Amino acid sequence: MKLLVTGGAGFIGSNFVHHMIKFHPEDTVVNYDLLTYAGNLENLKDIEDHPNYYFVRGNICNRELVEYVVDRYAIDTIVNFAAESHVDRSITEPDIFVKSNVLGTQTLLDVAKGKHINKYLQISTDEVYGSLGPDGYFTETTPLAPNSPYSASKASADLIVRAYYETFGMNVNITRCSNNYGPYHFPEKLIPLVVTNALEGKELPVYGDGKNIRDWLYVEDHCAAIDLVLHKGKPGEVYNVGGHNEKRNIDIVELIVDTLGKSRDLIKHVSDRLGHDRRYAIDPTKIETELEWKPQYNFDSGIKETIQWYLDHEEWWRKIKSGEYMDYYRKQYGAK
């Protein structure tokens, strides 16, 4: 394959580039990324000299550049990770979410159509389904009911992907995964924020009562699922990805604090996120039965490995937690 991986300098994208170089070293991987605040080439330092890996800095909304890159590298497959990904930022700055996530996706699809790309894979999210009560799971047929500007932009993108399948017969897939955790996770998100704040002796902000539930999956398990969908996904199909690992936020925060041997006094309940979804939980039956995907990591060891990764990569996260990040942090948490 000659793959265009958009957003490959972010959290999941960079893990996916590593995954592809490791398991499919004969494939060409072109990482196309705008390097927004969330994109970081440090995530790819160890593979930057690999003969089949290339990096191009660019916006997925820039049609001419995307077309040029597709021709230049004879791309036959596109995997779109590129997006504004943080729910809290979508509440204060929704415009960029519509531009990058909706218009960017439509631009990529249009280039893919014009260039006769073999497969287009959209990396979507369980958040497009909205929020669950205490029972039940999201399946691929659960109606879309996004609640945040972020999830609304991702749901809009999914509908455009669907339209290109129905209208033009393009070979597309959509994956909808639950919350990922693991190495290179940007420290605005709950797990890396709490790990790094705890290491710095800072307060650990828990929104509302802390009883919201997320369904956590180790990022490499997500990458393996994407790899399978790329190779075996049936045209036009959506695949939910999740490992039946529901946790309350407060339990995750306490686990991290205890693992690091810090005081639970650092935990601070703060104002709730606007429109905060209560519970996400994925039913992964379809990908398990049709594509024989199974998660390989369990949460207890995965979270310990992840905490250790942050302990071992202090330079990585300390560099991020300065400048623009601190401006964002002060605005978001009113902290010094």
């369990």: which residue's tokens? 298
Instruction: Characterize the bridge pairing of strands 213-215 and 246-248.
Output: antiparallel
Encoded tokens for 216: 């956590």
Catalytic residue numbers read 126-127, 150
> Which residue stretch of 34-42, 135-143, 189-197, 286-294 sits at the interface with ligand DAU (rule: CB under 6 A)?
189-197
Span 127-166, contacts to ligand DAU by CB under 6 A: 127
Closest residue to ligand NAD, based on beta-carbon distance: 10
Encoded tokens for 175: 């994956």
- Residue ranges in the chain assigned as alpha helix (H): 11-23, 63-72, 87-92, 94-97, 104-114, 149-168, 190-200, 219-232, 249-259, 285-290, 299-312, 314-320, 324-333
Q: How far is the CB of 319 from ligand DAU (least distance, A)?
A: 20
| Of 188, 190, 157, 189, residue with least CA distance to 175 | 157
Span 81-140, contacts to ligand NAD by CB under 6 A: 81-85, 100, 104, 123, 125
The CA R_g of the chain, rounded to the nearest whole Å, is 19
187 binds ligand NAD (CB under 6 A): no
Choosing from 78, 174, 190, 238, the residue that interacts with ligand DAU (CB under 6 A) is 190
Question: What's the CA gap between 58 and 124, in Å, rounded?
Answer: 21
> Which residue stretch of 3-11, 106-114, 135-143, 323-331 sits at the interface with ligand NAD (rule: CB under 6 A)?
3-11
Residues 220-259, one symbol each (x = binds ligand DAU by CB under 6 A, - = not), give -----------------------------x----------
Residue numbers of the site for ligand DAU (CB under 6 A)?
85-87, 125-127, 178-179, 189-190, 193, 205-207, 212, 214, 249, 273, 280
